[in-house]
């Protein structure tokens, strides 16, 4: 892959046309999310986000685990003051600032921090044997990287209360029923499905895709009135793009548009 990524130890990166493929690679620890892995992941995602030839990303793990959680060994003996001063979770929050869509391809365990990272992505494709959960209560803490907030927004208060307060893991079929994920497929088809979705998105006009993502995420952060105003302004902003002119002209001429992604 391009030299701009350096030589990350815990993250693998590839390019497939307009899709960036990012894989968590710490298999000996089931991709437990330590500080080094997360810093590498953020750096790679931000570099892909800044690359105009990339339109969408796929984030995957391994066959046994997408990510089995945060690295407990790294924090087990820390004090509250140490956790606050280090604030390692602030780095995680930069994932939500990525402008381009991210498709999570989940096989195996997506527990604790792994579930939280998957929920930071914009779409989730899961293998039929994937297992999600926020089991932090079982080790005396609560989710700390957005689990209480994103899971509640995805599945509602009652179900989030049950899953977080009991720490019960749940399979992909239940995650689909709850509206947490987009699709369940055979385990060996997860990357195929995730890449297909990412390629479909990546071939759409890039600015419109990014504005649509911003508008959808805004719906979780504001009132309906403010959200509608925000959406309208982003809609008008589309008219500054070459792709808006091309898209509407192609529609009138009854031909496929040729996107410039500008």
136 is catalytic: yes
CA proximity to 1, closest of 37, 41, 44 = 44
Among residues 136, 145, 146, 194, the one annotated as catalytic is 136
Query: Rounded to the nearest 10 degrees, how much is the dihedral formed by the CA atoms of 33, 34, 39, 40?
Result: -70
State the catalytic residue, choosing from 40, 116, 174, 193: 116
Reported residue count of the chain is: 262
d(CA 87, CA 229): 34
Residue pair 218/210 in contact by the 8 Å Cβ criterion: no
Kindly name the residue from 55, 113, 127, 133 that is annotated as catalytic.
113
Does the annotation mark 6 as catalytic? no
61 a catalytic residue: no
Residue 175 structure tokens: 């995650």
Among 67, 70, 145, 208, the active-site one is 70
What residues does 24 pair with on adjacent strands? 11
Residue-wise over 226-254: b if at least 16 C-beta within 10 A, else e? ebeebbeebeeeeeebebbebbeeeeeee
How far apart, in whole angstroms, are the C-alpha atoms of residue 241 and residue 111? Answer: 41
Q: Active site includes 55?
A: no
For residue 100, the tally of other CB atoms under 10 A from its CB is: 23
Active site members: 70, 113, 116, 136
């Amino acid at each position: 892959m391009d030299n701009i990524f350096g030589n990350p130890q815990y993250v693998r990166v590839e390019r497939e046309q307009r899709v960036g493929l990012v894989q968590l690679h710490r298999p000996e620890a089931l991709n437990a999310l330590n500080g080094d892995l997360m810093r590498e992941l953020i750096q790679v995602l931000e570099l892909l986000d800044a690359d105009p030839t990339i339109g969408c990303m796929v984030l995957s793990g391994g066959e046994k685990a997408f990510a089995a959680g945060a690295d407990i060994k790294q924090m087990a003996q820390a004090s509250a003051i140490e956790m606050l001063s280090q604030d390692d979770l602030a780095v995680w929050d930069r994932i939500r600032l990525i402008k381009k869509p991210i498709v999570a391809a989940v096989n195996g365990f997506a527990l604790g921090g792994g579930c939280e990272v998957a929920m930071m992505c914009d779409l989730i494709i899961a293998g039929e044997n994937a297992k999600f959960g926020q089991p932090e209560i079982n080790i005396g803490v609560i989710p700390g990287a957005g689990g209480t907030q994103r899971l509640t927004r995805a599945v509602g208060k009652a179900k989030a209360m049950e899953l977080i307060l009991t720490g019960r893991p749940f399979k992909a079929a239940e995650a689909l029923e709850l509206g947490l994920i987009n699709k369940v497929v055979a385990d060996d088809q997860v990357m195929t499905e995730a890449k297909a979705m990412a390629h479909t998105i990546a071939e759409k006009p890039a600015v419109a895709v990014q504005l649509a993502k911003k508008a959808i995420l805004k719906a979780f952060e504001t009132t309906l009135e403010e959200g509608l105003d925000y959406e309208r302004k982003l809609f008008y902003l589309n008219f500054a793009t070459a792709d808006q002119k091309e898209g509407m002209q192609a529609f009138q001429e009854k031909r496929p548009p040729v996107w410039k992604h500008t």
